[in-house]
Amino acid sequence: MVIAGKDKGKHGVILHTLADTNQVVIEGINIATKHQKNKQTRSQGQIITKSMPLHVSNVALMEGKKPVRVGYIFEGEGDKKTKVRVARPSGKKL
C-alpha cells in the first residue's frame, strides 16, 4: 500500500526491487507516459505507460486489508540465531 505521494491509498503487487537505491516498482502505481519514436521508416511511434519506482519509505506492507509496520525478532538458539521479519500488531511472520 502506498502511504505517501500522488497514489496514496492505492495498493498493488511489487514487481521488482532496486536494492541499491532503496526503491520498489509496484504494478499500476506511479505511472509515467513515454513518447517513443518510430524505430523504422514507415512505422508509427507509440505512447508507452510505465510503472516508475517509489522509495520504500512511501510503501507499507499489507496484512489482510490493513497496512502494517515491520519489526524483527531473532529465532534459534546459540550461534544459529536468524533474523525474522514480523508484523508489528499481530506478531505474525512475513
Cell of 4: 505517501
Reported as a single tens digit per residue, the pLDDT across 32-83 is 999 998 888 778 889 999 999 999 999 998 888 888 988 999 998 888 899 9
pLDDT at 84: 92
Size (the chain), residues: 94
Return the pLDDT at 43. 81
Give me the pLDDT at residue 16, please: 93
Extract the runs of DSSP E, i.e. beta strands, from 8-92: 14-18, 23-26, 31-36, 46-51, 54-55, 61-63, 66-68, 70-75, 82-87
Q: Where are the domains of the chain?
A: 1-59, 66-94
Kindly state the average pLDDT of the residues 4-28.
Answer: 93
- Give the span between the Cα atoms of 61 and 76, in whole angstroms: 25
